[in-house]
């Protein structure tokens, strides 16, 4: 096993509960999450993680109250603009997975495009922000793309379908971290997480910091990844 997972994906969960425990509005939890995001990006870089994916906004999140959604759009735009110079300086290549819903403010979509272009030549860690993302939708769109391409059914393999997914150069996820203790995928990168190890720390995302991230990496190192094969650990433990 690699000492460090090549691709780590984080489901950033617990903002609302963090705020509620402090008798604050949910928006306060989203605002507090910014520090955790930057800390995890820095921790992943320092650890040698090559690909980091963050689940920022799902296709299902559109069902939240409109004032909360509007706040999130404004907050994400501020965060993107604020930290663009840091990401560029750190050699982080940024891109955004999803971003197809017309309800996304045009100025936010433009900021996503600008950051993608700004950091496109970076050769350090690749940061993928899943925004307006749904794993099932990605697979459906890949199937539609295959049909449009005229690929015969007998020629469709896993590799062929994967080549029609968004960002097909993205490697499979090695480690999924979901904070707040919840234990589900929530439609996140469904194709890529097929054989991922999963860690569910109890800490809420706004309180998640570099030491927590490192603990998750250490938990990954203790796993015996078999990909359906026979155990490599004595007595088949782990």
The answer to whether 206 and 18 have CB atoms below 8 angstroms apart is: yes
The one catalytic residue among 61, 122, 187, 207: 61
pLDDT of residue 143: 97
Burial string for 24-33 (b: 16+ CB within 10 Å, else e) reads eebbbbbbbb
The full set of domain ranges for the chain reads: 11-223
Q: pLDDT tens across 79-136, in order?
A: 999 999 999 999 999 999 999 999 999 999 999 999 999 999 999 999 999 999 999 9
Q: pLDDT tens across 142-172, in order?
A: 999 999 999 999 999 999 999 999 999 999 9
82, 107, 170, 119: CA torsion to nearest 10:
-50
pLDDT of residue 238: 44
Residue 102 CA to residue 165 CA, distance in Å, equals 20
The answer to whether 205 and 12 have CB atoms below 8 angstroms apart is: yes
pLDDT of residue 213: 98
Q: pLDDT tens across 16-43, in order?
A: 999 999 999 999 999 999 999 999 999 9
Q: Which CATH architecture has domain 11-223?
A: 3-Layer(aba) Sandwich (3.40)
Edge-to-edge strand ranges of the sheet holding 93-98: 93-98, 126-133, 51-58, 7-11, 175-178, 197-199
User: Is 101 a known active-site residue?
Assistant: no
Q: pLDDT tens across 207-236, in order?
A: 999 999 999 999 999 998 766 666 665 555
pLDDT of residue 148: 97
**Cα 213 → chain centroid:** 14
CA distance readout (Å), 58 to 102, 133, 156, 186, 199: 14, 5, 28, 8, 20
Helix (H) or strand (E) holding 112: helix 106-118
Q: Find the helix packing angle between 66-89 and 26-47, rounded to 10°.
A: 20
pLDDT of residue 182: 96
User: Is 13 a known active-site residue?
Assistant: yes
pLDDT of residue 1: 56
Average pLDDT, the chain: 95
């Amino acid at each position: 096993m690699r000492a460090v997972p090549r691709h780590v994906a984080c489901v950033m969960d617990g903002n609302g509960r963090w705020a509620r425990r402090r008798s604050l509005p949910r928006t306060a939890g989203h605002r507090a999450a910014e520090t955790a995001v930057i800390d995890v990006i820095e921790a992943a870089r320092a650890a040698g993680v090559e690909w980091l994916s963050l689940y920022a906004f799902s296709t299902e999140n559109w069902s939240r109250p409109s004032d909360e959604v509007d706040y999130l759009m404004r907050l994400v735009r501020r965060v993107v603009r604020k930290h663009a110079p840091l990401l560029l300086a750190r050699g982080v290549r940024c891109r955004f997975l999803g971003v197809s819903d017309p309800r996304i403010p045009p100025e936010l979509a433009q900021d996503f495009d600008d950051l993608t272009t700004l950091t496109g030549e970076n050769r350090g860690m690749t940061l993928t922000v899943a925004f307006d993302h749904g794993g099932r939708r990605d697979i459906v769109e890949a199937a539609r793309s295959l049909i449009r391409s005229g690929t015969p059914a007998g020629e469709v393999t896993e590799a062929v379908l994967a080549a029609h997914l968004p960002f097909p150069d993205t490697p499979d996820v090695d480690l999924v971290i979901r904070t707040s203790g919840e234990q589900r995928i929530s439609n996140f990168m469904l194709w890529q997480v097929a054989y991922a190890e999963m860690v569910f720390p109890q800490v809420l995302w706004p309180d998640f910091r570099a030491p927590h991230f490192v603990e998750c990496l250490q938990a990954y190192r203790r796993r015996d990844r078999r990909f359906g094969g026979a155990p490599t650990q004595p007595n088949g433990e782990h």
